[in-house]
Structure 1
Amino acid sequence: MISTVSVFALLVKLGIWQLQRSQEKADWQQELSFRQSQSELSYSQLLALPSNTLYTGFRLQTQASPAMEKVLLLDNQVYQGRVGYLAFQIMEVMPNRPWLLLELGFISTTANRSDLPVIQPISAPVMLTGRLYNKEANPMSAELMAEAGWPKRIQNLNLNQLSIELNHALAPAILQPDKLASHQLPHPWQPFPMTPEKHKGYAFQWFVMAAVFISIMGGLLLRQIKQ
């Protein structure tokens, strides 16, 4: 009896949790829409935001120059069924200020991991406009794990460890540009891997499972009573 109640309570709790996640996503989507409708931040405004800010969704417009004509490759990325890398370049916006990590886009890889893709880095000053984001940390592994040489393959976007690797401070957010004239690579990242509606769908499934479970257990209990 106790185990039956426990399982039923767990199924209901999972459904409620999915509903809460749905509301959180809906609130966050509303906040993102508001941020997207606002004027672009300047780089000085970005750096002046509180350190505990969630930067995702803010827009930025700034002139930048390549701090180095080298490319970073974020490993283990998948886009439209293809496996590859998300390429980045380090840009300088203002002298003696943190550098900006610019997303160049997704590029597929070959079966041979030793053959890194060749991407021509930005080599001249460029006007950048796009949205800022922070990728959620992987709970299983958040270490940079940078490999030697260039292009430099990394396993996670750990900005703190990357700044140590580069021996230079980095801005606390990554810029995904609206477009880059020099690069036509896709930009697959989106703020939400799952919509509020999907969370509601999962909640409905948990509640249905709870109802079916309690019906089956109730039927078994009635059968035992009759016997």
Structure 2
Amino acid sequence: MNRRWHRPGWFAVALTLCGVALFSSLGSWQLRRAAEKEQLLAAFARTAQTAPVSLSEARRTASTQHFPHVRVEGRFDTAHAYLLDDQIRGQRTGVILYGVFEPLGGGPALLVNRGFLPRREDREMPVPAAETGPVALSGLYAPVPGSGLRLGGNALPGQTTWPKKTIYLDTDEIAADIGRALDDRVLLLDPDPASGFERIWTPELMPPERHRGYAFQWFSFVVAALAIFTLLHWRKESS
């Protein structure tokens, strides 16, 4: 039995070329996204080490690639707070506590991410109260964390005890709940071992490694398409 190359039809050639072009384009796009995410993570890390700016300046300069380090003075609204439930840190589940903060310089209120609290099985989870007087805060001025599929609608109006619980953060819904204007970004407080909270901040995004994994899959499809094309047209023949 000898192998002989059989001339492929135009449809097979066109289909293979389209597949190779599409899969290569998708693989390259995933590699570009991985590079962009690495740059974003690096920018996030650099910002945390910079000298803080005022909240008004942060509101002017913030962007998808820039998370200003902010120092802001004001007061917590001690009557209102929110628990972002079902959060995972490593092997632990818990909540993230958000306080409502009124900046001294005016403008919309600001949601302050005070940090992560792990859930305790043996007793009720304590929720540290916010400071009652004037306070200066510093942290990263960042976008609201992303959320998955929203099920059940807005649960805030039906709750009567504080802090209220939610499985996603929607600044419009919270603004309606507290009856005042609210910034569409949040403040991620700087780490403080004495606070009782865990504060390890990274942008809410797909990690670069996952993008590279998807790129590998798309480039594997390129190899598979070429291999199938070759096998179909490099066939055995009876001698």
Q: 1:194/1:10 Cα in 2 relative to 1: closer, same or farther (>3 Å)?
A: same
TM-score of the two chains, using structure 2 as the length reference? 0.75
Whether the aligned pair in 2 keeps the contact of 1:78 and 1:84 (CA below 8 Å) is: yes
Give the one of 123, 136, 145 matched to 2:131. 123
Pairing of 1:168-207 with structure 2 (within 5 A): 168-180=180-192, 183-191=195-203, 193-196=205-208, 198-207=210-219
Q: What amino acid is the match of 1:81?
A: Q
Whether the aligned pair in 2 keeps the contact of 1:132 and 1:176 (CA below 8 Å) is: yes
Tell me whether 24-33 or 72-81 shows the greater mean CA deviation. 24-33
1:167 is displaced (CA, Å) by 0.4
Whether the aligned pair in 1 keeps the contact of 2:115 and 2:189 (CA below 8 Å) is: no
Q: What amino acid is the match of 1:120?
A: P
Q: Which consecutive residues of structure 2, in runs of 5 or more, have no partner in the other structure?
A: 1-11
Q: 1:186/1:129 Cα in 2 relative to 1: closer, same or farther (>3 Å)?
A: same
1:11 is displaced (CA, Å) by 2.8
Number of corresponding residues: 222
Tell whether 2:33 aligns with 1:25: no
Identity %: 24
Q: Which consecutive residues of structure 1, in runs of 5 or more, have no partner in the other structure?
A: none
Residue 153 of structure 1 is matched in structure 2 by 165
Give the one of 117, 126, 130 matched to 1:107. 117
Residue 89 of structure 1 is matched in structure 2 by 99
SS at 2:141's partner residue? strand
1:139 is displaced (CA, Å) by 5.8
TM-score of the two chains, using structure 1 as the length reference? 0.78
Whether the aligned pair in 2 keeps the contact of 1:159 and 1:170 (CA below 8 Å) is: yes
Q: What amino acid is the match of 2:31?
A: L
Whether the aligned pair in 2 keeps the contact of 1:18 and 1:202 (CA below 8 Å) is: yes
Whether the aligned pair in 1 keeps the contact of 2:73 and 2:104 (CA below 8 Å) is: no
SS at 2:126's partner residue? coil
Whether the aligned pair in 1 keeps the contact of 2:138 and 2:190 (CA below 8 Å) is: yes
Residue 149 of structure 2 is matched in structure 1 by 140
Q: Which has the larger radius of gyration?
A: 2
Could you say which structure has the greater relative contact order, defined with CA pairs below 8 angstroms and 6 or more residues apart? 2
Whether the aligned pair in 2 keeps the contact of 1:64 and 1:127 (CA below 8 Å) is: yes
